Amino acid sequence: MTRIIEDTLQCFVCGAKSQQRQLASTHEHGSPDLDGRPAEEARSTMPEWVQTCPRCGYCAPELSRGHESSRALVRSPAYQAQLRAQDSPLLANRFLCAAMACDAAGRDVDAAHHRLHAAWVADDEGRPELARQYRSAVADALLARREALRAWRAGDGDWKGAEVTFLVDVLRRAGRFQEALRELENALQKGVSSIVREILRFERSAIERGDAGGHRLAEALSGSVLREDPRDDDPLLGYLLSHCGDFVTPQENKAAFTGTLRTPEGERWATDDPQVLTLLAHGKKAFTAALEKRLLADHPDKVVINRCPKCGGIARTPKARQCRFCHHSWHDKR
């Protein structure tokens, strides 16, 4: 659920007090876009991502905080012109002003973020030319400082190279297809994870079609890699993770949560971690059975696997005395 609170805040630049809305909490249901734009409900909370002082026009995620450089910047004609620009959406202007404040403070990663948010506003307002222009500025900033890109979207292990998928998507959606393709091929040559390779393949086919539109991560990754909780599929695995979790190793835990990835070469586990691949070598069911066996062998006095005496189904909890499958109850029988 999305929750927005109102609060009186004092402007960092001019000291004026004003009522401001703040995003207290939100959530995402579904796949984000390839450029990181979240799914609903978070997707629609953008007006709450930047606050604006009604007196001086200072724009920032938190109006009461800022960098000294903001004081002079907000008074400058360039800033005031951006704030009041007629040819762009009001909310985009606010993000672009927040970006200018970050530029002045030397916070280029945050500046790029705000400019990307302006592009999302332009997308929603049906202004593709403006969106392209804002994305192009984001791409320029990231190309000029690749370490900022890595800091922003660093992907380790199974997401190695994730920052490149982001850069490629921004370039593609800015209509800079040749550069997008060059970045993509470079990354593939240098080596990326299996998941990232599939995303880059998706980007490549979009570029080849001349497609500069938005796409969801779920479109690029088929298989079960993005499914949220494996415990829903397998009651025994759910039981082991929930009730014996203290004895489950990080590698086993990772194996439990690893989904599959459909690739042109066939379906595979969505990980490159050799230890996890070994655990999953005979499938998820076999992994779960082996995990149960190991837990019982290593911790016979602590691990209780509560099964229904009638059908053998796994109970919900170690103390449950009724079967969720056959409804048999064994309250006094043990």
By CB under 5 A, residue 112 contacts Zn ion: no
Tell me phi and psi for residue 36, to 5 degrees.
Answer: 90, 0
- Contacting Zn ion within 13-72 (CB under 5 A): 13-14, 16, 53, 55-56, 58
Q: Which of 310, 316, 320, 321 binds Zn ion (CB under 5 A)?
A: 310
Stretch that binds Zn ion, among 127-135, 166-174, 285-293, 307-315 (CB under 5 A): 307-315
Q: Which two structure tokens, joined as six digits, stand for 253?
A: 């835990």
User: Is 101 among the residues that bind Zn ion (CB under 5 A)?
Assistant: no
**175/235 with CB nearer Zn ion:** 235
**What span, in angstroms and rounded, lies between the C-alpha atoms of 27 and 44?**
11
Task: Return phi, psi of residue 8, to 5°.
Answer: -90, 125
Phi, psi of 181 (to 5 degrees): -65, -40
Segment near Zn ion (CB under 5 A); pick from 141-149, 184-192, 269-277, 309-317: 309-317
> Is there binding between residue 195 and Zn ion (CB under 5 A)?
no
Identify which of 288, 333, 285 has the alpha carbon closest to the alpha carbon of residue 310: 333
- Can you state the percent helix, strand and coil of the chain, rounding each to 5? 50, 10, 40
Is the preceding omega at residue 183 within 30 degrees of 0, hence cis?
no
Closest CA to 91 of 135, 56, 137, 52: 52
Under the binding rule (CB under 5 A), the answer on residue 98 touching Zn ion is: no
- Minimal distance in Å, beta carbon 63 to Zn ion? 7
Q: At closest approach, how far in Å is the CB of 312 from Zn ion?
A: 7
Which one of the spans 2-10, 35-43, 90-98, 301-309 is the region binding Zn ion (CB under 5 A)? 301-309
**What is the contact surface with Zn ion in residues (CB under 5 A)?**
11, 13-14, 16, 53, 55-56, 58, 308, 310-311, 313, 323, 325-326, 328
